[in-house]
Amino acid sequence: MEDESLPLPRTIATIPGELMRMPQLVECNSEILVVGSTDVYRSQLVVVRLAELLQGGPTVPLTSIGDHCLFIGKRSLAVSSKGLPSVAADSIILCDSINDIHQMQYNLSDNTMSLACDGDILHSPPPSPHSIVHHLITCCFPYFWNKGLIYCSRTKPRWGLKKGKWRLGA
C-alpha cells in the first residue's frame, strides 16, 4: 500500500500588510476574493482577487462586485442583492462586526457604512418574522444554523447530551 499522506502545506500567496488586515476568502461569481480591512476597526474594507495575488504583481482593490453582496463571518458567502431589498449591490455585510449590537453593511462603491438590518442582535435574536438578511447572517455561523436558530451574538446554543450534561454547539 502506497503512502497516501497529504502534501505539506506551502505558501501560495502573500498579502501585503499595508494592503489589508484580517483577510478572509469568499467565492463570488466563480472567483475567489480576499476581503480584509485597512485597520483593526474595519472602517475601510478592501476586496482583491486571489488570482491577482497568485500572479505576484500589483493588486488593484475592487470597487465593484457587480450586483453581489458578501456576507463575512465564521463562514463567508456571496449572494445576489437583487432579492434583498435592504441590501445594496457592491456591499459587504460584516456578520461579526466590531459594532456588536448591529450588523454593518459596507458599500464598496462609496466606502460608507450603514445598518444591514433592523434588530438588536446583542441581547436576543430579532423578533419573528425574521428577514432574509437575518437568515443569511445566521448561515455564516454554523453552530446556529445547524440547529435551526437565528444568530444572536451573546447567545450560545446549548444542547442536552445526557441528563445533567451539556455540550456547546453541534
Cell of 66: 457587480
Cell of 158: 446549548
Residue 119 belongs to a domain: yes
Residue 1 belongs to a domain: no
- pLDDT of the residue at 88: 87
Residue 107 belongs to a domain: yes
Residue 49 belongs to a domain: yes
Residue 8 belongs to a domain: no
Residue 33 belongs to a domain: yes
CA distances, 113 to each of 2, 30, 130 (Å): 54, 26, 22
103: left (phi over 0), alpha (psi -120 to 50) or beta: beta
Residue 11 belongs to a domain: no
Run means of pLDDT, 10 residues per run, the chain, 170 residues: 76 82 92 91 89 86 94 92 87 74 83 79 73 84 75 69 56
- pLDDT of the residue at 50: 92
Provide the domain count of the chain. 1
Give me the domain span that covers residue 113: 21-168
- pLDDT of the residue at 41: 80
What pTM was computed for the model? 0.80
Residue 80 belongs to a domain: yes
